[in-house]
Structure 1
Amino acid sequence: MNLDYIIPNDWSIIEERFDPSHVKASESLFSIGNGAMGQRANFEEKYSGPTFQGSYIAGVYYPDKTRVGWWKNGYPEYFAKVLNAPNWIGINVFINDEGLDLHTCRAIENFRRELNMKEGWLSRSFVATLQNGIKIEVNTKRFLSLDLDELGAINYSVTPLNSNASITYRPYIDSGITNEDTNWDDKFWDTLNVSHENNQAFIQAKTMKTDFYTCTFMESQVFIDGKSILVNPNINADSNSASFSYNYEVKQNETYTIHKFGGYTVDRNHDKYELVTAAKSVLEKATKSGFTVLLEAQKNAWSKIWDMADITIDGDVKAQQGIRFNIFHLNQTYLGTDARLNIGPKGFTGEKYGGSTYWDTEAYCIPFYMATKDQSVARSLLTYRYKHLGKAIENAEKLGFTNGAALYPMVTMNGEECHNEWEITFEEIHRNGAIAFAIFNYYRYTGDYSYIPEMGLEVLIGIARFWHQRATFSTDKNKYVILGVTGPNEYENNVNNNWYTNYIAQWCINYAVENIERVASEFSTDYTRIMNKAKLSKAEVKEWKTVADNIYFPYSKKHNVYLQQDGFLDKELITVSDLDKSQRPINQKWSWDRILRSPYIKQADTLQGFYFFEDQFTTEALERHFDFYEPFTVHESSLSPCVHSIQAAKLDRMEQAYTFYLRTSRLDLDDYNHEVHEGLHITSMAGTWMSIVEGFGGMRVKNNALTFEPRIPKQWDGYSFKVNFRNQILKVNVCQGHTHFELEGNEDIEIVVNDKAVSISPNNLVTVLED
């Protein structure tokens, strides 16, 4: 079912009725995070209906042993998974000894849930009639602090409406939890100690195998009509949990409130023997400030993020809500404050994909973080890959490659490959190209070349060595071919000469050679260090060039297009428009065998190459390839619509570009792929940002300067965005008929708009009329 219950709103995600069939989807959509931890929007009180409980700590994972029917050489031994962490948000609520449970209430009225993206908080309110006849009003609000990123805060209030009531709050922490996504139902957590004192409780636990030590903590305060009261709690603790019971006789229309502070301290940031001490320090800051002060700090922190990252859209509320939803979740997932972390495709919203790092980071996320924060954040993401170069070389060695060839993992937590589907683990090798492209893209955008001699060139050498060895010389074609691969389009496995893979392999080798020559010329000390470390000779580089200069690209003279792979024209070429809608999505309706024999494309494949390497192709060539491949594309990957939106805008097909934009921006809000209950598509959200900035805004970096070709959908009155380009912040405001540019900085900047040079001075509005 497509979701249709989310209320259109500029700044909030809102639902206004309780429907048990929506609970899991809403738990994903209303998820909150602060970069260091995150959680699905589970109810604080007990809910006995279908639910997907999930709280997650960044960087804490478990190596879940691979489960396959037939082991293959080179398979990773485990799939690393972000763990469902001990639960700290729980507050069981009892009204005259009956537990509050929305699944069993006699009636639920005025249910409303809001995720306020502007200020960074989640609220819920409703009126419930329990089986015992007591009618109550409930109001909750919670957030994960950006300023104190080990802390979360909850304000939970109950007002009895039709009689006095004995109300008990029972806040708890619990380490007896499991992952929904587990291969062998292993025990992931070992609880070491449960302790409590005063109104504080602590659970010390460590992960099995990986030995991450954590402390889950809580402290609570209670209030009547906003005034603090002292209630001595009853305490209950066992081997995995601790709870406090705060009972109070509440008069009709009085409001009984609990403030609960909780969260995690982790040995990634503290000595493992000092985690409780660190937790006490966090709680002291929390209780000293109080919920209201902490909430104001939260609003201020989000205000600073939005000041740089916001995109405004005038005249289209659904489009506005969509882009802010995407930007909000990107910032909840990763803020660039910890270089040890990366961006998982589901972020903190679910367990699919294990919370691991994919090629999505380099291909889609780095542009967003470069432009909306500063270059240090993007550099940290590149440094993350450099630190994993040794593991990438090990990954390649396991598959039989030698001499320092590097194959970056498809899925990883620590640099080791941990994906265990052979057609992806062994064959979706184009991911190597995304790593190299990100290095190129970073330098192109920031102008900071220092990363390459310091770290990046070693990465490029390892990648070039891999492509050199992965290519095979075909005497029949008198060319080098790359056999047995899966391109970005995962609906074609084990194909030969995937055009995108062959093209990016050639580009990687040439880019590595180009930078070897530049570092040799301009950074002689680094060059000597790197050549000695890599044991790279001129003869080897010459061998790489032989491969790059003679690589094979499948081409159809009949259609005048590059073929996605050698056998594409052998398929029955029925377009998506002629496919019965009842068969969609095909990944949920068809056997895998049928999908592989079909012409249908999961995501941009050949067109992904045209997106990355736009400057190397004419607009006419793009148009031919777009017209040939788009009709066969089902867009059942979250990474597909954004690329098509950008390219449709470049071709000035604005209606099509707008349709693709809505699909990428509201992919989760409208549940296009019928899977939002599993979690959100975080990394593709960066593609939504690109759809506006690179698509409609036409922003590129050419000849060391920002260029724009602004376009605007007819559905919009205007839109605006900011980019941080080389430490100067440029605001772009596109309206029907003209575009405003405004510069925050100290020096003039030269840009190009519709092929014409434009000079912009700081704090001086420049207007460019549409041609």
Structure 2
Amino acid sequence: MNQDYIKPNSWSIIEEGFDASRVKSSESIFSIGNGAMGQRANFEEHYSGPTFQGSYIAGVYYPDKTKVGWWKNGYPEYFAKVLNAPNWIGINVSVNGEQLDLFTCRKVENFKRELNMQEGWLSRQFTATLQNNIQIEVKTKRFLSLDLEELGAIEYQIKPINNDAHIQFQPYLDSGITNEDSNWDDKFWDTLKVSHENNWAFIETKTMKTGFYVSTFMESKVYLNNKGLFINPNINSEANYISFDYSHQVKKGDTYSIQKFGGYVADRNYDKTELVSVSKQILDNAITLGFDGLLHKQKEAWSNIWERADINITGDVKAQQGIRFNIFQLNQTYLGKDSRLNIGPKGFTGEKYGGSTYWDTEAYCIPFYMATKDEKVARNLLEYRYNHLEKAIENAEKLGFKNGAALYPMVTMNGEECHNEWEITFEEIHRNGAIAFAIFNYHRYTGDYSYIPEKGLEVLIGIARFWQQRASFSKDKNKYVILGVTGPNEYENNVNNNWYTNYIAQWCINYTIENIGKVATEFASDYQRIINKVSLSTNEMKQWKTVADNMFFPYSKKHNVYLQQDGFLDKELISVSNLDTSQRPINQKWSWDRILRSPYIKQADVLQGFYFFEDQFSTKELERHFDFYEPLTVHESSLSPCVHSIQAAKLNRMDQAYQFYLRTSRLDLDDYNHEVHEGLHITSMAGTWMSIVEGFGGMRLKDNKLSFTPKIPEQWEAYSFKINFRNHILKVDIGHKQTHFEILSGSELEILVNNKPILLKTKQLQAV
């Protein structure tokens, strides 16, 4: 049974009614971020019920000692993970000496929480009756500034309803925090100094081992009925904590409020000796603008994001809410300003997966960022991997590979592998293919080839070397095979000849050879520099080619399909439809032994390959493979429904495509996999965008032109989206009878619509 408490709304995520059993889930769903930091939607005031406290700084991490039952050669020593940072949002509240705590109140009524996606803020309101029978009305609003990215702002208002009351606000900073997912309960932060000046407070900290220096800061001011009060606060300063006490006697019906500014300054961007002085400058800027001024700028900044990125759906509020939630969270996580950063599967919403970079970025996120932002943002994501090439080579060396072979990590913060499950770390090597595919996809979409001679070709050569060495020659098959792997479908591990892995390995080698030839012909100086640097010979390339030309692909003549892996037909192929719903999700109900022996697929392997390399297969082949594999797929990977939605739309199975779309777009809102309390599925949200633009919109690149085959679910009246394509902003508006195209900026552009050429002229609506 999926959760169903989020109210349908086009622009907001809304929860009504307080339920302690939902708090952890809501803390994930209502998370906020600005690309430089983010936080779960924890209450500002004290809460004694079950909660998952989390506030995170982009790029600040800790190498937690790997925890495994026994060591294996090649294991990473550490699992790098994003850190729960010092808490700056806290405001303890007491009324007539009793602490406000929603978990222990006599009654909580009129509770409403709203995440306004259009304007980028989080609010809460409720009426609470405390144990001392004082009844209060509370309203809060908070946001993380897009303009001043180290800054967050909170407004917290209390109105006594049934009596006069003595109200105490106690804003605080706390560096005595821990990670939810710590392996050994290590101390991650070392508090160096706690200080204050007027209404400002600072905690200076350093991460253990990695040595990131951070200043956590706050400033507060209190108001009565919106008029500033000058209260000299009592100050409580301890080793890891500092609080200010603003107390006031408040008449029944009056509103006592506090505005708190806070945030982080890290030595990733400033000299470590200047962190407190920079914090003061930020607070000066915040005070000058004020809460309302900062909020106004926040609305403007989000308006600019939505102007380019919005997808508008008419006639289906849940579908509309789903896609906007996905687009909103992607932008909260990564804005493309810093090439040192990347996109973790949980973003700033939780600690699972360590907050690190996976292959999800290259396979799912880059298309979204290419089309909704400047192409430099996508190029930054490619450069992230180039900057880690030496580490990828080191990672491969640890596993016995030589001569500059590169194996990119499954999970990373700084280029080092930090995943420690052997069937993933050593065997889910298909991630190398996604890195190469992203280079191809970037050039294909943007037309910018310069990245390849400048940086990308070195990456491709390292990857090709890995594939050539990883393949083995089978005398029995008279083919090259790749043994002992895990494909994207992690419900089959340590298998031989995973079709997707073998196919992308072959493609990578051929694509690398093709680009070596192109660079040699057209960029002679770059070619010479690269060849000298990597010591590449013609003979080595012939070895690559031999492997690629003789790669083995498991195939069933009986079913006329490529097989997931050599032993797939040894399984009893029982459809998911025959699974009792009480057994779902199987990853929470079954042992791994049972899962691995079952035919059930976590996410598509073969169909993922058909998605990447669509042009190399016919629609009939796709249909055959879709019909064989989809009934066996449990979609317990967040990355699965979006690919199936795109392919169902291509097959004109619109009801099925629509259902997959709802599942990917509302995966977290409706908690399909019963795990949203751990955080959101950020990277799969880019797949949701693809399921509309590439699935229903049918957007592809054909013959170096944008191509569309527009379709629309019957549940929708119309939908529209915008695309940034090679310095053209193109708006596409799709209805049941017509599709309209308009170039909003840029020169005229020829596109294909249902395989027919259409010439679009600037700011001239074209109906098809």
TM superposition score category, shorter chain reference: over 0.9
In 1, are the aligned partners of 2:727 and 2:746 still within 8 Å (CA)?
Answer: no
In 1, are the aligned partners of 2:729 and 2:746 still within 8 Å (CA)?
Answer: no
Identify the residue that residue 16 of structure 2 maps to in structure 1: 16
For the residues of structure 2 that align with 1:738 and 1:577, how far apart are their CA atoms? 37
Cα shift at 1:604? 1.1
For the residues of structure 1 that align with 2:514 and 2:537, how far apart are their CA atoms? 15
SS of 1:403's equivalent? coil
Identify the residue that residue 157 of structure 1 maps to in structure 2: 157
Identify the residue that residue 580 of structure 1 maps to in structure 2: 580
SS of 2:724's equivalent? strand
The answer to whether the aligner puts 1:471 opposite 2:466 as a matched pair is no
Identify the residue that residue 121 of structure 1 maps to in structure 2: 121
The answer to whether the aligner puts 1:725 opposite 2:725 as a matched pair is yes
SS of 1:79's equivalent? strand
SS of 1:139's equivalent? strand
**1:242-293 C-alpha deviation (Å, 9 max, x unpaired):** 0000001111100001000000000001100110000000000001110001
SS of 1:647's equivalent? helix
Cα shift at 1:2? 2.1
The answer to whether the aligner puts 1:639 opposite 2:621 as a matched pair is no
**1:498-539 C-alpha deviation (Å, 9 max, x unpaired):** 000000000000000000000000000000000000000011
What are the within-5 Å matches in structure 2 for residues 224-303 of structure 1? Answer: 224-303=224-303
What are the within-5 Å matches in structure 2 for residues 678-689 of structure 1? Answer: 678-689=678-689
Identify the residue that residue 91 of structure 2 maps to in structure 1: 91
What are the within-5 Å matches in structure 2 for residues 587-626 of structure 1? Answer: 587-626=587-626
Identify the residue that residue 368 of structure 1 maps to in structure 2: 368
Cα shift at 1:746? 3.4
In 1, are the aligned partners of 2:480 and 2:552 still within 8 Å (CA)?
Answer: yes
Cα shift at 1:704? 0.7
For the residues of structure 2 that align with 1:196 and 1:347, how far apart are their CA atoms? 32
For the residues of structure 2 that align with 1:390 and 1:545, how far apart are their CA atoms? 24
**1:323-353 C-alpha deviation (Å, 9 max, x unpaired):** 0000000000000011110000000000000
Q: Which amino acid aligns with 1:535?
A: S
What are the within-5 Å matches in structure 2 for residues 344-493 of structure 1? Answer: 344-493=344-493
SS of 1:483's equivalent? coil
Q: Which amino acid aligns with 1:288?
A: T
In 1, are the aligned partners of 2:722 and 2:729 still within 8 Å (CA)?
Answer: yes
For the residues of structure 2 that align with 1:655 and 1:605, how far apart are their CA atoms? 23
Once the two structures are aligned, what percentage of the paired residues are identical? 78
Identify the residue that residue 533 of structure 2 maps to in structure 1: 533
The answer to whether the aligner puts 1:55 opposite 2:43 as a matched pair is no
Q: Which amino acid aligns with 1:680?
A: L
SS of 2:511's equivalent? helix
Cα shift at 1:695? 0.1
Identify the residue that residue 705 of structure 2 maps to in structure 1: 705
SS of 1:56's equivalent? strand
SS of 1:128's equivalent? strand
In 1, are the aligned partners of 2:93 and 2:169 still within 8 Å (CA)?
Answer: yes
Cα shift at 1:3? 1.4
Q: Which amino acid aligns with 2:357?
A: T
For the residues of structure 2 that align with 1:612 and 1:563, how far apart are their CA atoms? 17
Structure 2's unaligned 5+ residue stretches are none
**1:84-127 C-alpha deviation (Å, 9 max, x unpaired):** 00000000001011000000101111000000000000000000
SS of 1:301's equivalent? helix
Q: Name the count of aligned residue pairs.
A: 768
**1:590-618 C-alpha deviation (Å, 9 max, x unpaired):** 00000000000000110000000000000
Identify the residue that residue 657 of structure 2 maps to in structure 1: 657
What are the within-5 Å matches in structure 2 for residues 500-511 of structure 1? Answer: 500-511=500-511
Q: Which amino acid aligns with 1:510?
A: N
Identify the residue that residue 570 of structure 1 maps to in structure 2: 570
Identify the residue that residue 220 of structure 1 maps to in structure 2: 220
Q: Which amino acid aligns with 2:50?
A: P
SS of 1:15's equivalent? strand
Identify the residue that residue 696 of structure 1 maps to in structure 2: 696
TM-score, structure 2 as length reference: 1.00
SS of 1:379's equivalent? helix
For the residues of structure 2 that align with 1:581 and 1:228, how far apart are their CA atoms? 58
For the residues of structure 2 that align with 1:193 and 1:466, how far apart are their CA atoms? 48
For the residues of structure 2 that align with 1:38 and 1:243, how far apart are their CA atoms? 22
Identify the residue that residue 735 of structure 1 maps to in structure 2: 735
Q: Which amino acid aligns with 1:24?
A: K
Q: Which amino acid aligns with 1:388?
A: H
TM-score, structure 1 as length reference: 0.99
For the residues of structure 2 that align with 1:755 and 1:377, how far apart are their CA atoms? 30
SS of 2:6's equivalent? coil
For the residues of structure 2 that align with 1:256 and 1:746, how far apart are their CA atoms? 52
For the residues of structure 2 that align with 1:217 and 1:3, how far apart are their CA atoms? 37
Q: Which amino acid aligns with 2:349?
A: T
For the residues of structure 2 that align with 1:614 and 1:504, how far apart are their CA atoms? 13
For the residues of structure 2 that align with 1:39 and 1:189, how far apart are their CA atoms? 18
Cα shift at 1:744? 1.7
**1:332-389 C-alpha deviation (Å, 9 max, x unpaired):** 0000011110000000000000000000000000000000001100000000000000
Identify the residue that residue 81 of structure 1 maps to in structure 2: 81
Cα shift at 1:663? 0.1
Q: Which amino acid aligns with 1:145?
A: S
The answer to whether the aligner puts 1:32 opposite 2:32 as a matched pair is yes
**1:433-481 C-alpha deviation (Å, 9 max, x unpaired):** 0000000000000000000000000000000000000000000000000
For the residues of structure 2 that align with 1:395 and 1:583, how far apart are their CA atoms? 38
In 1, are the aligned partners of 2:33 and 2:39 still within 8 Å (CA)?
Answer: yes
For the residues of structure 1 that align with 2:717 and 2:746, how far apart are their CA atoms? 31
In 1, are the aligned partners of 2:28 and 2:40 still within 8 Å (CA)?
Answer: yes
For the residues of structure 2 that align with 1:497 and 1:37, how far apart are their CA atoms? 41
Identify the residue that residue 523 of structure 1 maps to in structure 2: 523
For the residues of structure 1 that align with 2:228 and 2:663, how far apart are their CA atoms? 48
Structure 1's unaligned 5+ residue stretches are none
What are the within-5 Å matches in structure 2 for residues 291-330 of structure 1? Answer: 291-330=291-330
For the residues of structure 2 that align with 1:747 and 1:191, how far apart are their CA atoms? 56
Identify the residue that residue 747 of structure 1 maps to in structure 2: 747
Identify the residue that residue 629 of structure 2 maps to in structure 1: 629
Cα shift at 1:229? 1.1
For the residues of structure 1 that align with 2:160 and 2:285, how far apart are their CA atoms? 32
Identify the residue that residue 550 of structure 1 maps to in structure 2: 550
Cα shift at 1:703? 0.9
Q: Which amino acid aligns with 1:486?
A: T
Q: Which amino acid aligns with 1:110?
A: N
For the residues of structure 1 that align with 2:142 and 2:681, how far apart are their CA atoms? 23
For the residues of structure 1 that align with 2:49 and 2:585, how far apart are their CA atoms? 27
What are the within-5 Å matches in structure 2 for residues 136-151 of structure 1? Answer: 136-151=136-151
Cα shift at 1:581? 1.2
SS of 1:286's equivalent? helix
Q: Which amino acid aligns with 1:521?
A: T
Identify the residue that residue 332 of structure 1 maps to in structure 2: 332
